Chain A
Amino acid sequence: MAEKLHFSLVSPERELFSGEVDQVDAPGTEGDFGVLPGHAPFMTTLKEGRVHVHVDQQEHVFEVRGGFADVTPQGLTILAEHAEEVA
C-alpha cells in the first residue's frame, strides 16, 4: 500500500504514538470502526477498549479509556484520557 495515514495517539501526559500507518481500528461508542488512508472527515467519542494500529505487517495495540477520535484529511488523532501500550 503506497498511501499512508498519519496517526497520532495523545494522552494528557504524553504523545504515545505519532507516525505514518496503514490502518487503525478503534472502538467507537456507536461501534468499532477502521480508518484507512483517505477516510472522510469524521469525529466520534470512544468507549473503553483497544486501538489496533497496523504498520507494515506489524501491529501495535493500545488500551484507551475516555477518548475521542478525529479524522481529518491530515490524518487521524485520538485524544485519550488514559492510554497505554499493550505489549
Chain B
Amino acid sequence: MASVKDLKTRITSVTSTQKITKAMQMVAAAKLRRARDAAESARPYATRMAAVIANLAAGVSGEGAPRMLVGTGSQQRELVVVATSDKGLAGGFNSSIVRAARDYIAGQIGAGKLVTVLPVGRKARDQLRRFYGERFIDAPEASVPSLAKAQEISDIITARFEAGEVDVVTLFYNRFVSVVSQVPTRRQVIPAQVSGTAPPIDLKGAIYEYEPDEETILAALLPRYLTNQILSAMLENQAGFFASQMAAMDNATRNAGEMIASLKLIMNRTRQAQITKELIEIISGAEAL
C-alpha cells in the first residue's frame, strides 16, 4: 500500500495538471469567441459570392464554360484536401476528420480512382502519412486562418488543376454546428457546386448586363470562390477546434478533480490507519508492564 507521503506527491502532481487543463480550457473559451466571430463575419461574403456564381453559372454553359465549373469531363483523378488543425489536445476533433477522409479515400481507391492527397495542418499530415504518405502532393500547415493562407492552398490546388493532373477536388473539414457539435463534412470544390446554394435572384424581367462578358467574369471569380471556400473551411475548423478543445479540457479538469478527491480519501484513511496502529502499540505496551 502506498505511503502517506507517496499519496501526497501524487495529489500535488494531479493538482498541477488540473491547473494546466483549467487554464487551457479558459484560453480555448476566449479564443473560441474570437474564432466564432471571424467565422461569422466571413459568412456574408461567402453567401453573396455563391449567389453571384449561381446566377452567372445559370447563363454560362456548353463550349465556353470554364472547366472549374463544368469539370474536365472525367472523374478519374481526384485530389482530396483534408483540413485539420496543427495542434492536438482537442478530444476527437482531428481524428474524426481524418477518419471520415480515410474512409472516403479508401472507397475511391477501391473504385479504381487515382487519388492524391493534400493534408492541410500538421495533424492531418501526421495521421494520414502512415496510410497515404506516398500520395501526398504537399503538406502545408494550417496555422492561423487568413486570406493569404487560403490563397496559398488554393494556389497549390489550382496549379494541379490547370496542369491537368486532377479532375475532381474534394475538401474535408469540420463544420461548426455548435459548441458541442462539429460535423466532419465533405465538400466538392472542383467542379464548383453551385446549385442549391442560393435562390436565384428575381430580376423582375430585366436582362443582366455584364462587363466584360460572362465568361471573363466567371473565370476571374471561380478561383476566388475556391479560395473563399477554403478560407471558410479553415475558419470553421478553427472555431470547431477551440470548441472541441474547451470541451476536452473541461472533461480533463473534472476528471482530475475526481482523482484528487479519491486520492485524498485514500490518503486520510491511510493516515488514520497509521495513527490507530501506533495507539494500539502504545496501549498494548503499557498493558504489558
Contact = CB atoms under 8 A, between A and B. Distances in A.
Interface of A: 8, 10-15, 28-30, 40-45, 66, 68, 70, 72-74, 77, 79, 81
Interface string B147-158: 100000000000
B201 interface: yes
Given A10-B44, A28-B211, A73 B217 contact: no
Contact of B208 (A13, A14, A29, A41): A41
Given A11-B45, A12-B231, A73 B202 contact: yes
B52 A70 contact: yes
B217 A68 contact: yes
A72 B45 CA distance: 16
B223 to A, nearest CB: 11
B6 interface: no
B209 A72 contact: no
A73 B206 contact: yes
The majority secondary structure among interface residues of chain B is helix
Given A10-B44, A73-B201, A77-B48, 20 more contacts: A10-B45, A10-B48, A15-B44, A30-B212, A40-B207, A42-B208, A42-B210, A43-B56, A43-B208, A43-B210, A44-B210, A44-B217, A45-B211, A45-B220, A70-B48, A72-B203, A77-B52, A79-B45, A79-B52, A81-B147
Given A28-B211, A29-B212, A41-B209, A12 B45 contact: yes
A43 B209 contact: yes
B48 A79 contact: yes
A41 B214 CA distance: 13
B41 interface: yes
B204 interface: yes
Given A41-B208, A45-B216, A74-B201, A13 B147 contact: yes
B69 to A, nearest CB: 16
Contacts of B216: 45
Contacts of B209: 40-43
Given A12-B42, A29-B211, A68-B52, A43 B217 contact: yes
A46 B117 CA distance: 35
Contacts of B56: 43
Contacts of A15: 41, 44-45
B208 A73 contact: no
Contacts of B201: 41, 72-74
24 contacts: A10-B44, A10-B48, A11-B45, A15-B41, A15-B45, A29-B211, A30-B211, A41-B201, A41-B209, A42-B209, A42-B210, A42-B211, A43-B52, A43-B217, A44-B212, A45-B217, A68-B52, A68-B217, A70-B48, A70-B55, A73-B201, A73-B204, A79-B52, A81-B224
A12 B217 contact: no
A50 B55 CA distance: 26
B48 to A, nearest CB: 5
B25 interface: no
A43 B38 CA distance: 28
B237 to A, nearest CB: 16
Contacts of B204: 73
Nearest to B38: A13
